[in-house]
Amino acid sequence: GNSVTQMEGPVTLSEEAFLTINCTYTATGYPSLFWYVQYPGEGLQLLLKATKADDKGSNKGFEATYRKETTSFHLEKGSVQVSDSAVYFCALWKTGANNLFFGTGTRLTVIP
């Protein structure tokens, strides 16, 4: 079936530290991959996406590369800010299922 396994949190970093949140997936064929972010008190927002192997999604300094050989889509940011504190969800979309499959989420806290 389709599933996403995400690095468990919570993750606490100091401002300007490097961030990696691991995500691996299980799916047949070629799913599209996403990172969603949920800021406190707000709804889920699409952060970035990649629709085929070797694509790199990027937004707001965050990046993730679709690696088919390792079935991974790890989220990275070179220098986190306090405003990046949120819960991050990895997700996949499988054509035909017409449904998003989410990981369990990783809570990131950035301290000044």
Residues near another protein, by CB under 8 A = 4, 6, 32, 41-46, 49, 51, 89, 91, 93, 95-96, 98-100, 102-105
Distance CA 17, CA 84 (A): 12
Closer to another protein by CB, 14 or 45: give it.
45
Closer to another protein by CB, 49 or 77: give it.
49
**E strands, the chain, in order:** 3-6, 11-14, 19-21, 23-26, 32-38, 45-50, 56-59, 62-65, 75-77, 86-93, 100-102, 106-111
Distance CA 36, CA 46 (A): 4
Q: How far is the CB of 107 from another protein (least distance, A)?
A: 9
Closer to another protein by CB, 96 or 112: give it.
96
Q: How far is the CB of 101 from another protein (least distance, A)?
A: 8
Q: How far is the CB of 4 from another protein (least distance, A)?
A: 8
